[in-house]
Chains A and B, each alone.
Chain A
């Protein structure tokens, strides 16, 4: 240590961790926050499991991740001893782990039937997600952080030191700063916090693209086959919501399918038009799908070229990363129109047949009729709008989720299989071609549709690994990411939901998907690839309004191409945006069942969120030191005056 700043650095240690933040909905709050406007400070104490937690004084509780659900359950119990327990919890730190606890049981922060209130059927108690704990929806009045690996070791050592001295001061304390603006503003519901500008609604930008590119000003009127996937997930700690299996494996399969289909010629001669839609915000009230349908209804510019009546069939690609038995299940709603829906199932079966010589040999089966209906999926929004929608959801599971880590920090790359996703992508690509050809395409053509497995592998590396992360080659060739490791939590809607979103406000994942789809669905792509210099260079906009600027990065300019790839805002249709007053909650329309069920999530503003640890004395020690200092000063004062008097007298006497 060579200087006072060095001393100060040695005294305070900043920890790395992922916070749980405050969300609000129309009825109240959920998530975590500091209880007031000040930092939460308490000595760190570690416990082995949820039941052994006994607190005699306010403490920062350090728990292994396996104890989180049990501990929150204990706090929920309303009896006297537990509620006083909650008061003694100043903050909660969760240790990092490589999933060494009962890996078999699984862990999900979402509920047992995720977003049951939106289901277009009455059996809301069906257990789609048996490992669901529902902790995502709990309201906690203390801050909670998930610690990084390195910080976990440090904090465990500090807790051990505290134990060794028997919790006698000076003690190692944790200082949490997770003060939320909504707490300071006293706004505790979505409506009040939007009015007081202390929060923002959740949302982002979904992407839709047409293959082949359509003439949006004068559409051909071909019936549309809409292929859907989602790109957002969730977890108790929003910064680690990888969602690898649910739902991004579906998105990867769809993107790889688009890549394969883009190599096929003659798509414009087919009877139906293919349109791909990658939605965001689905985990928080099906924001993407509902807003998409609302935009269609109001015939907005975002969806120019599309029209609600022209959507003939819908194929949603759900979680497909864990179909280890190579069987994919086709879920449909009983009310779906029989003929077009059966056509989708047949197209998928034909695709499976064409793949019987491949290594994966995928199979397609209809989901069990004992299911109450479609699993939680974006299709639910379409079914609510029109129960006869000819739509299916392709999933890796039949009656219950295969994904034991749905909406948790553990749904990462180790939870999915690249070959399985590639196999699903082949199924989807060939099935979509079949549908576009009105189920007339022959096997030879189907067999020529080949999915690039290394593309799937590359996407997994980009989206779910720290290295290379979003700075991987695939992403960097198309756009410059704002950070290398992203979470797939949808986040708040930034900026205004106007026609041309500012790229600054669009999440990396959405921007990647837009650029990828635009690049693949470029009109006459194969021809243009031979003569790359012919494209006009651009940074964000093109002179020709029919063209879009793709692959504009920090390193090189983009090129103007003809492609029907557009952003669609994703936010709750219960909200409206106004230049002067900002976001506001709109009155509920009659007959809007999804709107009635919509919690309308918003996230509080916060200035900084931080976590540090240091050694602290008890308050009486500080007071003693002050007393000592004052006494010494007073005593010296006295002593000098007395001495002066004594010498004065001595001198006078002499």
Chain B
């Protein structure tokens, strides 16, 4: 639906990612690399899922159920693997810092790395599930699927991508925190929320379902953001330890 529409959809799907990138990530090269690396890992999990399910698609509607469950499982497994990789890197970076007499990683650094990792996942998701679909949106025509007469396909895709972008970004913050602190409930929160959000998208398949499906996806994202926010709030609270372990004192941090 013309250039204006196309750009609008792209901004809905990736605008917040762009804002996050510019405000948090762009100034630190290591974070940029983290975003790229994390995106790469997510892509690998997507390829694995694709290889597994290629033979069964296109198929009946009920195929989506086992498909979503296995794909989420694969992504969560990759997240755990990623966490272990991160631990190794964190260790390496800390050793390097000691060698050059600089400060080791503090909590804010770790949160930023978590955000960057989550953002990598989220951007990769948006690009593959929404941006590629948007090419026809730049033309003069629009498209509505039979089961959703309220919103064009592109709008549904853009909002869903926005929801998952926020979900992935803040899930990683929660996950890093949970896996480091070993709190069971938090550890379970991320995969459960991911699975719920994924399964709730199936609501869109019902006639007129997108009226409910899209807000549900966005709600999952909001809940995840809230939980992540609470975790970070608690972590940076007055009773949570030595100031120096929380944030960097000098502004010239070359990490």
Partner-B contacts on A (CB < 8 A): 2, 4, 7-8, 10-12, 41, 170, 175, 614-617, 619, 621-630, 632-633, 636-637, 640-641, 644, 647, 650-651, 653-654
Check A11 against B139 for contact (C-beta < 8 Å): yes
Contact A628/B152 with A7-B143, A41-B140, A616-B1 known, Cβ cut-off 8 Å = no
- CA A633 to CA B15, docked complex, whole Å: 4
| B8 vs chain A, min Cβ distance (A) | 3
Check B11 against A12 for contact (C-beta < 8 Å): no
Cβ of B135 under 8 Å from chain A: yes
Q: Which of A629, A630, A651 is packed against the most chain B CB atoms within 10 Å?
A: A629
Cβ of B214 under 8 Å from chain A: no
- Inter-chain pairs besides A170-B142, A632-B15, A636-B15, 16 sampled, C-beta below 8 Å: A8-B135, A8-B139, A11-B136, A170-B144, A614-B142, A619-B2, A621-B5, A625-B4, A625-B5, A629-B11, A632-B11, A636-B20, A641-B23, A651-B108, A651-B246, A654-B240
User: Chain B binding site: helix, strand, loop or mixed by DSSP?
Assistant: helix
Check A11 against B141 for contact (C-beta < 8 Å): yes
Check A4 against B133 for contact (C-beta < 8 Å): yes
Contact A2/B8 with A11-B143, A632-B162, A641-B23 known, Cβ cut-off 8 Å = no
Contacts of B8 in A (CB 8 A): 622, 624-630
Cβ of B124 under 8 Å from chain A: no
Contact A629/B135 with A615-B142, A651-B108 known, Cβ cut-off 8 Å = no
| B221 vs chain A, min Cβ distance (A) | 12
| A649 vs chain B, min Cβ distance (A) | 10
| B234 vs chain A, min Cβ distance (A) | 11
Contacts of B233 in A (CB 8 A): 650
Check B141 against A615 for contact (C-beta < 8 Å): yes
Interface size range on B against A? 35 or more
Cβ of B181 under 8 Å from chain A: no
17 contacts between A and B (CB under 8 A): A7-B136, A7-B153, A615-B143, A616-B141, A622-B1, A622-B8, A625-B5, A628-B12, A629-B15, A632-B162, A636-B19, A637-B23, A640-B19, A640-B24, A641-B23, A650-B236, A654-B243
Cβ of B247 under 8 Å from chain A: yes
Closest 8 CB pairs of A and B: A629-B11, A633-B15, A625-B8, A614-B141, A636-B16, A626-B8, A622-B5, A629-B8
Cβ of B238 under 8 Å from chain A: yes
Provide the B1-40 mask, 1 if CB < 8 A to any CB of A, else 0.
Answer: 1101101111110011011101110000000000000000
Check A626 against B4 for contact (C-beta < 8 Å): yes
Q: Which of A10, A175, A617 is packed against the most chain B CB atoms within 10 Å?
A: A617
Check B23 against A622 for contact (C-beta < 8 Å): no
Cβ of B58 under 8 Å from chain A: yes
Check A617 against B162 for contact (C-beta < 8 Å): no
Contacts of A644 in B (CB 8 A): 23-24
Which A-chain residue is minimally distant from B162 (CB atoms)? A632
Which A-chain residue is minimally distant from B107 (CB atoms)? A651
Check B23 against A640 for contact (C-beta < 8 Å): yes
- CA A175 to CA B144, docked complex, whole Å: 19
Contacts of B155 in A (CB 8 A): 625
Contacts of B12 in A (CB 8 A): 625, 628-629, 632
Check A615 against B144 for contact (C-beta < 8 Å): yes
| A71 vs chain B, min Cβ distance (A) | 27
Which B-chain residue is minimally distant from A638 (CB atoms)? B19
Cβ of B232 under 8 Å from chain A: yes
Cβ of B185 under 8 Å from chain A: no
| B251 vs chain A, min Cβ distance (A) | 11
Check B7 against A626 for contact (C-beta < 8 Å): yes
Cβ of B132 under 8 Å from chain A: yes
Check A617 against B108 for contact (C-beta < 8 Å): no
Check A626 against B5 for contact (C-beta < 8 Å): yes
Check B142 against A616 for contact (C-beta < 8 Å): yes
Cβ of B59 under 8 Å from chain A: no
Contacts of A7 in B (CB 8 A): 133, 136, 143, 153
Cβ of B66 under 8 Å from chain A: no
- CA A4 to CA B153, docked complex, whole Å: 12
Contacts of A619 in B (CB 8 A): 2
Check A622 against B19 for contact (C-beta < 8 Å): no
Check A651 against B136 for contact (C-beta < 8 Å): no
- CA A175 to CA B2, docked complex, whole Å: 14
Check B5 against A633 for contact (C-beta < 8 Å): no
- CA A619 to CA B1, docked complex, whole Å: 9
| B148 vs chain A, min Cβ distance (A) | 13
- CA A328 to CA B232, docked complex, whole Å: 102
Contacts of B243 in A (CB 8 A): 651, 654
| B36 vs chain A, min Cβ distance (A) | 20
- CA A12 to CA B141, docked complex, whole Å: 7
- CA A7 to CA B133, docked complex, whole Å: 9
Provide the B159-177 mask, 1 if CB < 8 A to any CB of A, else 0.
Answer: 0001000000000000000
**Which chain B residues in 98-112 approach chain A with CB under 8 Å?**
108
Contacts of B15 in A (CB 8 A): 629-630, 632-633, 636
| B230 vs chain A, min Cβ distance (A) | 13
- CA A624 to CA B9, docked complex, whole Å: 10
- CA A636 to CA B132, docked complex, whole Å: 23
Determine which of B135, B232, B236 lies in contact with A4 in the assembled complex, contact meaning CB atoms within 8 Å.
B135
Contacts of B11 in A (CB 8 A): 626, 628-630, 632-633
- CA A641 to CA B246, docked complex, whole Å: 19
Check A8 against B136 for contact (C-beta < 8 Å): yes
Which B-chain residue is minimally distant from A622 (CB atoms)? B5
Provide the B180-197 mask, 1 if CB < 8 A to any CB of A, else 0.
Answer: 000000000000000000
Determine which of B23, B141, B158, B236 lies in contact with A647 in the assembled complex, contact meaning CB atoms within 8 Å.
B236
Check B58 against A2 for contact (C-beta < 8 Å): yes
- CA A623 to CA B3, docked complex, whole Å: 10
Contacts of A614 in B (CB 8 A): 140-142
Q: Which of B2, B18, B139, B232 is packed against the most chain A CB atoms within 10 Å?
A: B2
